[in-house]
């Protein structure tokens, strides 16, 4: 599974992102159990402490919570909170990146808007 | 934090050659460490000092809080495997496993046999008749099945093929999760094992040049690419690790976290930023051309 991990970024951040994506996609619904640190470690062939750091990041943000002796679970309301967070990031991560690239290529903002409309109008 | 190994101002000379030069670090319990460096950097000498196979010229080594020399309480808790291991004449694979079972208090014979099967090692074959890969596998099996509180693998995977290396990484992580212990992996091949490590020590020319959490190191350096003049404007006042020109373009590698300020400055100058892998970072830190050597990374 090594190809799933990008060696250039902190791995614990990537583990947290994977869990977030699964929560957003509904694959990990609220109150569902999250795989254990050791399961993550053996699946991605990474150090268990690194996997644990990724899980704890989401615990600190209130997305996951610990049931003593059982493991980690998705907190109620986690999906709504994540959606809100990702929507805030959407502007900088996607819109601004796209506009900067458009500027480099000599595409005006109006042309970009026109392209978006064109895509939206395709059935 | 419980310290398994404490090394202070450790030096070792062989004649006029200084193999280890004023090295200090500590190893905490229950973590997987990487001892990284180029060939001849001094990794093996440090391992042999920790395992009491060599006496230091100066400085001190403490393992489990005591001096390791002729200390059977300490030595029975250490398992160090290396491809250079010599075995008595007439020893078969089975004899090596039986010796290990006798020597290591936490030895798990059933687990050892399961590993023998996983690595397809012929139990009745003479050690001296084993291929390089099988010899490496035998070492890896002893290291894993010993479950020693301090287990050291000194480049054990050099002889292993890709399949066997992958089995080794899987089994190491699996068994480490079930039976936490301190592991040191010594190697110059960083790419394959970097994700297994929690902490990284880098040795270069006998000196310790890096002692850092593995995750903190990822994303610690970045490369900026663009026209020479603008790259030089960007790198002014920053810690430059390497600079390589290509035509009018320059790629410069810098220590830093690619923070918002850097991103904005790079964007204003029309430069692109790219992350630097752990392997690349270590190449920069330990190559002769490095603009900066043996300096604190923080």
According to CATH, the topology of domain B221-275 is Alpha-Beta Plaits (3.30.70)
Chain B interface includes A46 (CB < 8 A): yes
Higher pLDDT, B275 or A36: A36
Q: Please check whether residues A83 and A53 belong to one and the same domain.
A: no
Q: Number of structural domains, chain A?
A: 2
Q: Please check whether residues A66 and A25 belong to one and the same domain.
A: yes
CB contact under 8 A, A45 and B194: no
Chain B interface includes A50 (CB < 8 A): yes
List of chain A residues whose C-beta atoms are within 8 Å of the C-beta of residue B267? 100
What is the average per-residue pLDDT within B191-219?
90
Among the listed ranges A56-65, A97-106, B284-293, which one has the minimum average pLDDT value? B284-293
Higher pLDDT, B110 or B260: B110
Q: Please check whether residues A58 and A110 belong to one and the same domain.
A: no
d(CA B59, CA B46): 12
Considering only residues 17 to 56 of chain B, which have any Cβ-Cβ distance to chain A shorter than 8 Å? 31-32
CB contact under 8 A, A9 and B218: yes
d(CA B181, CA B283): 29
CATH of the domain at A14: 1.10.10.10
Q: β-strand B239-246 against B78-82: which pairing, if any?
A: unpaired
Q: Please check whether residues A45 and A99 belong to one and the same domain.
A: no
Per the structure, the complete domain to which residue A100 belongs is given by 79-121
Q: ipTM value of the model? A: 0.77
d(CA B253, CA B282): 12
What is the average per-residue pLDDT within B232-244?
87
Q: Please check whether residues A12 and A55 belong to one and the same domain.
A: yes
Among the listed ranges B6-15, B122-131, B187-196, B205-214, which one has the minimum average pLDDT value? B187-196
List of chain A residues whose C-beta atoms are within 8 Å of the C-beta of residue B163? none
What's the gap in Å between the CA of B270 and the closest CA on chain A? 10
What is the average per-residue pLDDT within B15-30?
95
What is the average per-residue pLDDT within B64-70?
93
**10 Å Cβ neighbour count for B247?**
7
According to CATH, the topology of domain B3-216 is Rossmann fold (3.40.50)
DSSP-assigned states of every residue in B225-246: EEEHHHHHHHHTTSEEEEEEEE
This prediction's pTM: 0.84
pLDDT at B226 over 70: yes
List of chain B residues whose C-beta atoms are within 8 Å of the C-beta of residue A46? 173, 195-196
Chain A interface includes B218 (CB < 8 A): yes
What is the average per-residue pLDDT within B219-230?
87
pLDDT digits (tens, 9 = 90+) for A45-59: 899 999 999 999 999
Q: Please check whether residues A109 and A51 belong to one and the same domain.
A: no
CB contact under 8 A, B198 and A47: yes
Among the listed ranges A16-20, B205-209, B238-242, which one has the minimum average pLDDT value? B238-242
pLDDT digits (tens, 9 = 90+) for A68-113: 989 999 999 999 999 999 998 898 889 988 998 899 899 999 999 9
Q: Of B87, B71, B75, B65, whose CA–CA distance to B3 is shortest? A: B65
Domain locations along chain B = 3-216, 221-275
Q: Please check whether residues A69 and A9 belong to one and the same domain.
A: yes
What is the average per-residue pLDDT within B254-268?
79
Q: Please check whether residues A46 and A23 belong to one and the same domain.
A: yes
pLDDT at B295 over 60: no
What's the gap in Å between the CA of B262 and the closest CA on chain A? 16
Q: Please check whether residues A25 and A50 belong to one and the same domain.
A: yes
On the CB side of B253, CA atoms within 13 Å amount to 20
CB contact under 8 A, B31 and A49: yes
Q: Please check whether residues A21 and A70 belong to one and the same domain.
A: yes
What is the average per-residue pLDDT within B203-215?
92
Q: Please check whether residues A83 and A72 belong to one and the same domain.
A: no
What's the gap in Å between the CA of B29 and the closest CA on chain A? 13
Binning pLDDT at 50, 70 and 90, where does residue B1 land?
A: low
Q: Please check whether residues A89 and A114 belong to one and the same domain.
A: yes
Q: How many residues does chain B have?
A: 298
Among the listed ranges A9-23, B77-91, B273-287, which one has the minimum average pLDDT value? B273-287
pLDDT digits (tens, 9 = 90+) for B144-184: 999 999 999 998 777 899 899 999 999 999 999 999 999 99
pLDDT digits (tens, 9 = 90+) for B89-116: 999 999 999 999 999 999 999 999 999 9
pLDDT at B292 over 50: no
For B197, name the nearest residue in chain A, comparing CA atoms only. A47
DSSP-assigned states of every residue in B106-173: T--HHHHHHHHHHTT--TTSBGGGS-HHHHHHHHHHHHHHH--SEEEEESTTSS--HHHHHHHHHHHH
What is the average per-residue pLDDT within B240-249?
85
**Residue A114, CA distances (Å) to A92, A100, B44, B168, B174 in order:** 20, 17, 64, 55, 54
Among the listed ranges B26-30, B178-182, B224-228, which one has the minimum average pLDDT value? B224-228
Chain B interface includes A44 (CB < 8 A): yes
What is the average per-residue pLDDT within A11-20?
94
Q: Which pLDDT score is estimated for B298?
A: 38
> Crossing angle for the helix pair A11-24 and A37-44, nearest 10 degrees?
110
What's the gap in Å between the CA of A122 and the closest CA on chain B? 34
């Amino acid at each position: 599974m090594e190809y799933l991990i990008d060696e250039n970024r902190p791995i614990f951040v990537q583990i947290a992102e994977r869990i977030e994506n699964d929560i957003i996609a509904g694959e990990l619904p609220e109150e569902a159990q999250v795989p254990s640190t050791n399961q993550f470690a053996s699946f991605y062939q990474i150090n268990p402490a690194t996997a644990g750091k990724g899980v704890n990041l989401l615990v600190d943000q209130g997305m996951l919570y610990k049931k003593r002796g059982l493991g980690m679970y998705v907190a109620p309301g986690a999906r709504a909170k994540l959606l809100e967070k990702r929507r805030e990031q959407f502007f900088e991560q996607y819109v601004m990146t796209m506009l900067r690239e458009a500027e480099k290529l000599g595409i005006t903002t109006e042309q970009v808007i026109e392209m978006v409309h064109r895509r939206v109008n395709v059935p | 934090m419980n310290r398994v190994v404490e090394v202070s101002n450790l030096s070792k000379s062989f004649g006029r050659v200084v193999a280890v030069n004023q090295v200090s670090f500590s190893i905490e319990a229950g973590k997987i460490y990487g001892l990284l460096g180029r060939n001849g950097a001094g990794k093996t000498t440090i391992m042999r000092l920790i395992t009491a196979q060599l006496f230091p010229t100066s400085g001190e080594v403490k393992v489990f809080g005591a001096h390791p020399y002729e200390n059977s309480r300490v030595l029975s808790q250490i398992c160090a495997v290396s491809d250079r291991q010599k075995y008595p004449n007439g020893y078969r694979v089975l004899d090596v496993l039986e010796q290990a079972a006798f020597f290591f208090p936490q030895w798990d014979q059933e687990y050892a046999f399961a590993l023998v099967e996983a690595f397809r090692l012929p139990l009745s074959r003479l050690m001296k008749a084993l291929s390089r890969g099988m010899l490496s596998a035998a070492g890896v099996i002893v290291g894993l099945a010993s479950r020693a509180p301090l287990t050291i693998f000194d480049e054990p995977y050099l002889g292993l093929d890709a399949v066997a290396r992958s089995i080794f990484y899987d089994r190491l992580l699996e068994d480490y999760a079930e039976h936490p212990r301190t592991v040191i992996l010594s190697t110059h091949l960083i790419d394959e094992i970097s994700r297994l490590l929690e902490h990284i020590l880098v040795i270069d020319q006998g000196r310790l040049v890096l002692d850092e959490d593995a995750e903190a190191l990822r994303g610690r350096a970045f490369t900026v690419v663009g026209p020479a003049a603008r790259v030089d404007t960007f790198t002014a006042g920053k810690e430059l690790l390497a600079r390589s020109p290509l035509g009018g373009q320059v790629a410069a590698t810098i220590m830093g976290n690619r923070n918002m300020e850097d991103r904005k400055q790079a964007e204003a100058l029309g430069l692109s930023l790219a992350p630097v892998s752990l392997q690349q970072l270590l190449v920069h830190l330990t190559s002769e051309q490095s603009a900066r050597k043996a300096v604190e990374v923080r």
